[in-house]
Amino acid sequence: MAEMIKVKQDQKSEQKEDYALQRVPKHWRMSWPSITNVAIGVATAMVFMQMGSLMAIQFGSLNALIAEIYATVVAGFLGITIAYFAAKNGLNVNLMSRGAGFGFIGASITSFIYAINFIMYSAIEGSIMALAVYEYVKVVPVWALMVFFGLAVVPLNWYGVKQLDTFQKYSLPVYLVLLGTGIYLTATRNFDNAYQWMTFLPQGQEVGGIGLVTCIGIINGLVGIMALLISDYARFIKPEQFKIGVFAVGFIPQLICFFLSGLLGIWFGVRYMTDNPGVYFVTAMGAWGALFAILTQLRINVTNLYSGSMSLANFFARIFHFTPGRVFWVVATAVIAIVCMLAGALDYIGPLLTFQGVFLFAWASILVTDLIIIKKWLKLGQLHIEHRRGFLPEWNPVGVISIIIASIVGTMLASGTFGPMLAGLAALIAGLLASIISIVIAITTKGKTYLTFRRQHNIDASGHVNMYNENVHSCGNCGGEFINEDMLHCPFSQKDICSQCCAAESECHAVCKKEESSTEITA
């Protein structure tokens, strides 16, 4: 009985932490339909319809459609590539960045800005929910609704991705019924532009040219983040479902959010002549439209909170060696998002998307370049993706210098200083520039900036087989059991410890990277 209770407690702990700072072991992997279901929750956010509507109304339906197809292809390629390595290694994008060009502390740059993006998105989505309800319940002040919706998503994140799967699974049928109702009611109404929704072109615009480039610039603000956040879920794919899982998780959400939702956004936007989905669904369905808006925002906000908490956990583990657990960061992310809501985060969505498009596109480009070109083709640096602090340099110029230069150049271009054409292509230029710079630095340094001075030593014999038939080791600090790839020997404490305890150690001054007598637990 005592053993059964302990197993249940361990499983609850696993659910709460969800391997935010470690590789996902094989026993914690999930079926690809479940993981795809969670990822689709992101893809059904109203912002994707809104972008389709906005581009169609301002620049024409065909320009909007071409931009959506472009986004589907580019995000699909990046998503599948990142999903491939995430599933193969059981690592999210924050952990992968450590060994894919940035170094242990260098990757904190990407994690911090990544976390800010999700916090801002949580605030924006929460504000939309609060304002939608306020239109019908004006008795309750907006600030109170913001606090309520900001905290409402916390319990839905308590037990990690498996809880998210349950919520997304049972909310999806309701979402589809309400979406279908909105489409039907809109299709049966008379609109002036109903039969011109695919050929609509505002006065003064043309198909192609600056209008198309501007549309691509707008949609690039979402391409990078959709490609990167896929890793948070792809890392859970079961090894035996690897191929179908990588394709499904890496591509299907991109197809839904950019092509299908974008197409619906064009269809709705041209009819109602507004880019706000909340307006056209409430106009079509009344109170049910408001309910639909709330449901879609909840489905996206639980994933915003999840990814935001993962990024904050990684950032504070690296910089401040502070590892209170993922649940702590779920609450912290929600509280910070509420403060941003009350401060009027919704008013800053434009600048947010501009910088986000440049930075995240550059980050995704560096990761894909490092994993495919630098590691696979050029055979430079560590050929495997390392995430343990003891086996990584603090800073790796390959990724750090590349993303700083590319982000500065991309932001300058996006500001419009050099004309609308370059402004629309800013994110794409930043991504290409980041890729080229990272290759140049890696070749110039001959891959030496990826390595430390540790020697490898196989001590598998000290491990034991757990109840899942996995070879594991007991951490000398926290006492937890971890797979080989999450353990290392600490010469400072003279113990074999887990990667999380290694990241939390603040007094060792990384002595392990200076001593050639260091040992490693290898698979």
pLDDT of residue 1: 43
- By three-state DSSP, how is residue 481 classified? strand
Size (the chain), residues: 523
**Residue 514 reports pLDDT greater than 90:** no
Q: Where are the alpha helices (DSSP H) in 60-101?
A: 61-89, 93-97
- By three-state DSSP, how is residue 385 classified? coil
pLDDT of residue 244: 95
Q: Which residues contact 172 (CB under 8 A, 6 or more apart)?
A: 37, 40, 41
**Residue 353 reports pLDDT greater than 80:** no
CB 46, CB 297: distance < 8 Å: yes
Per residue in 63-99, pLDDT (tens digit) is: 999 999 999 999 999 999 999 999 999 998 988 999 9
- By three-state DSSP, how is residue 491 classified? coil
Q: Which residues contact 335 (CB under 8 A, 6 or more apart)?
A: 150
Per residue in 234-277, pLDDT (tens digit) is: 999 999 999 999 999 999 999 999 999 999 999 999 999 988 88
Say how far apart CA 385 and CA 96 lie, in whole Å: 6
Mean pLDDT comparison of 304-313, 434-443, 482-491, highest-scoring range: 434-443
**Residue 506 reports pLDDT greater than 50:** yes
Per residue in 428-446, pLDDT (tens digit) is: 999 999 999 999 999 999 9
Read off the pLDDT band of 282 (50, 70, 90).
confident
Strand partners, 497: 488
**Which among 42, 64, 492, 513 has a CA at the least distance from the CA of 268?**
64
Per residue in 43-52, pLDDT (tens digit) is: 888 888 888 9
Say how far apart CA 509 and CA 254 lie, in whole Å: 43
Which tops the pLDDT comparison, 308 or 2? 308
Please name each of the domains of the chain with its CATH number: 26-189+198-445 (1.10.4160.10), 461-513 (no CATH)
What are the tokens at 513?
Answer: 């990277």
Cα distances (Å, whole numbers) of residue 18 to 44, 125, 358, 430 = 24, 24, 30, 33
pLDDT of residue 11: 43
- The whole model's pTM is what? 0.86
**Residue 453 reports pLDDT greater than 70:** no
**Residue 457 reports pLDDT greater than 90:** no
Task: Return mean pLDDT, the chain.
Answer: 84
Say how far apart CA 32 and CA 246 lie, in whole Å: 8
Element (H, E) at 212: helix 209-229
**Residue 12 reports pLDDT greater than 60:** no
pLDDT of residue 70: 95
- Mean pLDDT of the 419-427 span: 88
